[in-house]
Structure 1
Amino acid sequence: MDRLHQRHTQLETDSKGVAAALSESEERYRRITEAITDYIFTVKVADGHPAETHHGPTCEAVTGYTAEEFNADPFLWIRMVPAEDQDIIRAQASEALSGHDPEPIEHRIIRKDGQIRWVSNSLVPTSDGQGNLVSYDGLLRDITNRKIAEETLRESEERYRHLVETMNEGLAMADQDYVFTFVNERLCEMLGYSREEMLGRHIVEFVHEDYKDFMQDQVARRQRGEARSYEIDWRAKDGQRVYTLISPKGFYDANGQLTGSLGVLTDITDRKRAEEALQTAHAELELRVQERTAELLQTNEQLKREIEDRKRIEQELRESETRYRLLINNMPSIVYRRYKDWSVDFLDEKVRSLTGYSMEEFNSRKKKWSEVIIGSDLETAKKAFIQALKTNKSYVREYRIETKGGEILWIQERGQIVCDKDGEIEYVSGVFFDVTERKQLQKAIVQREKLNTLGAIAAEVAHEIRNPLVSLGGFARRLQKKFPDMTECDVILQQSQRLEKILSRIRNYLHPVEIHPQECSVNSIITDSVGLLSPETEIRGLRCQLNLNPDLSDVYTDPDILTQIFVNLILNAAEAMDNGGVLSIRTFESEQDLYIEFKNPSSEPAVKHPELLFMPFAEGGESIGLPLCYRLLRNMGGLLSYASEIDHMVFTVSLPKSVRRDLQ
């Protein structure tokens, strides 16, 4: 741009013959700037104020606005800059208008599509032959990716710095001459020096006198490429001896020359002093053995055994810790530590698969455990906790939680309350188990047993009643022939026929259903059933909300019978919702079973004996309704169960994945 300015000044002083060359130069300049991918703009100045602005054609690639949009709206440029960045824009323009060369600045713009982008803005003033500012050119370069990279690097460096400064070991870095270039806060604490006192000094200056030659040997080993851990003693600022274990790492250039090294220092002073004390005690014992009796020799042997036991215990402790970590990572339960305010810490991400919430959401206190427990179960959970406080401070309790996706699960919690010396609760340590499937299975087993019992009773009753009922009907017909005007005979015959119909329904209910199984998709059958009933459900104001697992396994069953079951359950829900509403149909599966859940609003109170819903005592039980659904599912190896939730009733169909083998 300086050369362009010199050229411009020269042309103004030349003759009119050079004006043509100037025009050609400006045209060439225009073509060059239009080919540049960065955004170039020119502001012409008159009487010290901006008079006209020209935006290069690449402005649209950077800002989303065309040059015509900028020309039509003189204030579009400043509005495109966020309010908090506009002051530096105006300051840069003022400096250019005053005749100075302003420094490049970096600021944000809001593109036409709403994106926030970072740009570098450079201005180059242009003056005439008398030194008057006639214009200034601007180069706008998109630096968003660089800014993102800088922020990512800053965050990475911050994490690294936090790790280094909070680690329990000392950390030091030295150059090729073994002069300290970095030490962390822990190393400064170990030796009693400030960071400023250590940086720039040779490492040997801080080594204990007994180990200076040893350190020089280690330096030579590092230059040869060796890197083994070793123990070395240091001299602290107060003269104390500090024992450490060093794990070194050398850095080398392409030629194998040492360029620097890093060391992690573990303070083993307490261990060393314990070993020295142990060695002293051992020497004293040896002396006493020589001076005194064999009894002291026995004492010495006992001490040796204690040392071996200590080492063995330490080894067992390390192995136990390893087994514990392996157990935590592989056990089906979720380990936690909970506090008095219901905040909780988890050790791994298994909590996400249970609740839908990440470990970080709980550990950062954004989510408390009490917030996922169903409200009606929270008080029961609190009572179990209070009871445990009064006894041995351990408890087992079961309650329901609501996952992030809205699913209701049963949880078994086993906890141990830990208190301080004053009896105040410090925390609760324990594990969570998902017992939802067990709860469903228990409920299904109880319901199945009740229904089997009722079925057996109903069959026996039907058998015992049929013979007297036939005799009763026969005698009633004879009486009717003798006494045609006797109305009581009509009543007896009507009630006898009614009882015979009930007995027929019971017999048909207990009779096996013929099954024609094949591989089929439960999701497809549900979708077809909803479509089949759509005219009727629309009239009733019923809307079916499908939440179908796309990865649901296929089953080996009779699709026609399954369709009949789903249709009856949808119609049953429609009957329960007089004013219409939403019927939620959800599919999911466990390791052994497939589940289809039908959940609809209900203003009726909960059914006290749900097993009676599935018995064929009501009119029409043979052809439609819940008894038929239950009978059909039972013959296919499945089960229909009922549950009551707040303002809702839930019917759940379960089909075993192994149903194909059962049917074959």
Structure 2
Amino acid sequence: MNKHILIADDDKNFLLLFKSLFKVRRSTSTGEDKFIIKTFEDGPPLLEYLKTQYRHSKRIPLCILDMKMPLMNGMDVAREIRDVDQDIIIIFITAYSTEESKTIIENLKQNIYYMSKPFNREEIYCLVDSLIKGWNKNLQLKESEEKYRQLFASSEELVEKRTAELKMINEQLVKEITERRQVEKSLRESEERYKHITNTITDYIYTVYVQDGKPFKTIHGTSCVAVTGYTVEEFNKDSYLWLKMVHEEDLRSVKDYAERIFLETNLKPIEHRIIHKDGSIRWVRNTPVLYYDKEGLLQSYDGIVQDITERKQAEEALHERLALEELTKIISNHFINLPLSELDREINCALKSIGEFVGVDRCFLSIYSNVLTKIEYTYDWYNERFKPGPGIIFFEPYSWVLEKLRRFEHFYVPRVSALPSEISKEKEIWEKAGINSILIIPLKLSNDFIVYFGFISEQTEKNWKEEDIKLIKIMGEIFIHVLERKQAEEELKKYRDRLEYLVEERTAELTETSKRLVRSKRLAATGQLAASIAHEINSPLQAITVLLSTLKNKYKDEKELTENLDCLKVAFNSIRDTVKNLLDLNRPGKERKQKLNVNTIIENTFSLLRSYLNQYNVKVNLSLSSEIPFIIASPQQLSQVFMNLINNAVEAMRSSFKTKEEVAGEIFIKTEFKTDNLIIEFADTGPGISEEDIYHIFDPFYTKNKLMGMGVGLTICHGIIEEHKGTIEAKNFSGGGAVFTITLPVMVSEKK
């Protein structure tokens, strides 16, 4: 411990008095360094010695100066001492009045003490001893803080190195954190300087005298009121006042420490909380200095009580901020490469971690439309005590809140109960909901949505610092990046699904077109073959028909021969009809097209086939829409198609017929108008079409298990409908039976 003291006084008797004072008192103590006293009869020699020591890096903790000396007065010497070392403690020995002494201290600001002549030897010794020990403690504290700063700087380099490995999403975060740390470092340095200046004002010294191993008298310095709020008189009146001030959570440790003073010789300072007279909680640091007699018995101890509240608050704030920064990094890293299916769940988990860390009752992300009229989605966490209200209650009818958020300014109410009377309505509603504090941070999500990152405290009032709000905003930006990524991936999935649908749809269209093209080519080839065959058959058929007519006229009296000739003629007429059907495969209908109503054609066809249908007990159900428009078509060709479809349905159901009295089957005919198309459906209750046949039923000459016919009827129907720019399709009903659907286009002029 550095216990050098420089004393300047032109009175040699006083110099001898000081030497003997510190030498004599030294003999009553054990285990401590000696005071090193250097005396001077004027100021200049003291200054020269001080500068020499300082050049050799030897610091002097304390100087005692007489105010009046021959060459330099004490005030001038003190000023030059301050120019050499700002931290030297100066004690004036003066005969000036108290007011003059206060003026001296005001001029030199800090670490200035004075004692009036004549002085109490015990008092000056205690003061010098306590001040030198305090000076050494401060020196050790500064050295420890310097080591901490160096360690903190090396840690910073490691953090920055690791942070550089993050993706671009974290770059802005690192920049903000670095800037904030620089500000915090400057703040800590400013706080240390402020603490150093105010310590001499707020610290106070006390002395406890011990008798028979127990304290029996305590003297408090006058500065006690600055630390505790209580005066010396109040302490003298209540000997237990100090213990009564101790915070209940620290009372046990303070009592234990007081007992250890009588058992241990080398005690470290104790830090604990007290309740100030104004009701506030203060942190203090109590540093005792023990004095023993020759037998090693404790005689007394001095103490310095320092108010360290601001330091503690700064340390707690720094620790909380560093922890919040670490939580921000963890959340940011966690969302990297997280699958889309897990994003919603992990956002809610992150809100829970943030809410519990900052100590609020509710933490949420609400996504609104850009005009704030519709809430799209909410991620929400609230603790078990919180009673969730009806969503976000901050927008309507509170236009002042809405305008603030639209400007992307955060909305913060630290204490709802302190809101002014001008907004009493909002205050009443929020208090009724049990809300004490509100923080809402607006964030932009693309051009269509706004996200509100909110915190609500119900049980306690939550105080947010600007630095904390900035860090919370960075957290919100992390969520914005996550939501933007989610939107992009969902949009990509939507486009991918749409593309797959379009590909499948187009593939189906191409497949159907390919089938139609193959069918058309097959039909064209078949028609050409049929035309060639018909040409070869028609010529001899015509000659045979003429010859049969001639023979019939020549032998008309021979009945048996005439009947045989009629049979031959019927057979040749059948051959002629077959040839005509073959020719129809390769030539478009020459029938004149005209304006007609399809319902009329269906009803006429049904009338023609009524007796045929009754013969086989087939019931026909007509469901013809009265809303269908007229179309331009060939009535003969459409009637041929309808008749063919009805005949095919009857033939398909004949296998299930039993007697003529019972209804063997039903045919359902339906018409309707849909989106510029006329839809005609023919359905039956027969066995349906096999999977093998359904893909070939429109192929020419394709017939299977038919009682009669050559398999070109549906091929002709297909050609007629295509010639009318329509389509015909076949499928099976799930309950049985076949359905043929004809689609004919309706032009705008036809609709009118």
TM-score by shorter chain over 0.5: no
Larger radius of gyration: 2
TM-score, length-scaled by structure 1: 0.33
Q: Structure 2 length as normaliser, TM-score?
A: 0.30
